[in-house]
Amino acid sequence: MTVKQISVFVENKAGRLAELTEYLHQHDIDMRAMSIAETQDFGIVRIIVDDAYKTSCILKEAGYVVSITPVLAVEMSDEPGSLFGILKALGDGGINLEYMYAFLTRKGGTAYMVLRVEDNEKAAEVLNKNGFRMITQDVIVNL
């Protein structure tokens, strides 16, 4: 029901993000999605990758501070109004969003919304009830 999101601490300094992505590239990690939350002096890079386990291992080895969080990745059609449908369902169900970001895949017509909520199970139940589909980690690998 969930996918694994990897969050990495990156201090706000020129070249830090390039360093991180170069390192991922060297280890042949394929990113599916990425979002950055920034404050004045640091950023949190959140990524969804093909191999979450390997990614977290190599990052920790390189001395990065990393956390793995299960998040929901909801399928939606790539057309106006689909995000509204998801958000309305969550709102009506009393689910609070901490943050979210979207990604597209090579397959046309489908977009995915990554949702970070406090209670994944409860949110999944609400989404299921409203006919939305969530993908799992195995699906991510093959996207």
Partner 1 sequence: MEHYYQPEIECASREQIREWQDERLAKTVKHVYENVKFYRKKMDAQGVKPEDIRSVDDLHKLPFLTKDDLRDAYPYGLLAVPLGDCVRIQSTSGTTGRRVVAFYTQHDLDLWEECCARAIAAAGGTKEDVVHVCYGYGLFTGGPGLNGGSHKIGSLTLPMSSGNTERQIQFMCDLGSTILCCTPSYAAYLAESIWERGLQDKIRLKAGIFGAEAWTEEMRHDIEEKLGIKAYDIYGLTEISGPGVSFECSEQTGMHINEDHFIAEVINPKTGEVLPDGEKGELVFTSITKEAFPLLRYRTRDICILSHEKCSCGRTHVKMTKPLGRSDDMLIVKGVNVFPSQIETVLLNQGYPANYQIIVDRHNNSDTIEVQVEMTQEMFSDNAGIVAEREKKLVDALKAMLGIYVKVKLVNPKAIARSEGKAVRVIDRRNLYQG
Which residues here bind partner 1, judged by CB under 8 A?
A: 5, 7, 9-11, 16, 37-39, 41-44, 46, 63-67, 69, 98-99, 116
Q: How many residues does the chain have?
A: 143
Give the nearer residue to partner 1 in terms of CB position, either 10 or 124.
10
CB nearer partner 1, residue 37 or residue 139: 37
Residue 116 CB, shortest distance to partner 1, in Å, is 7
What is the smallest separation between the CB atom of 46 and partner 1, expressed in angstroms? 6
Contact 134, 72 (CB under 8 A): yes
CA distance 44 to 6: 10
Which C-beta is closer to partner 1: that of 21 or that of 82? 21
Q: Which segments within the chain are labelled E, that is strand?
A: 3-11, 31-38, 42-49, 66-77, 97-104, 110-117
User: How many other C-beta atoms lie within 10 A of the C-beta of residue 130?
Assistant: 14
Query: Whole-number minimum distance, CB 41 to partner 1, in Å?
Result: 5
Nearer to partner 1 by Cβ, of 57 and 133: the residue is: 57
Phi, psi of 55 (to 5 degrees): -60, -50
Cβ contacts of 23 within 8 Å, gap of 6 or more = 58, 59, 62
Query: Closer CB to partner 1, residue 77 or residue 96?
Result: 96
Least distance CB 79 / partner 1 (angstroms): 29
Minimum CB distance to partner 1, residue 78 (Å): 26
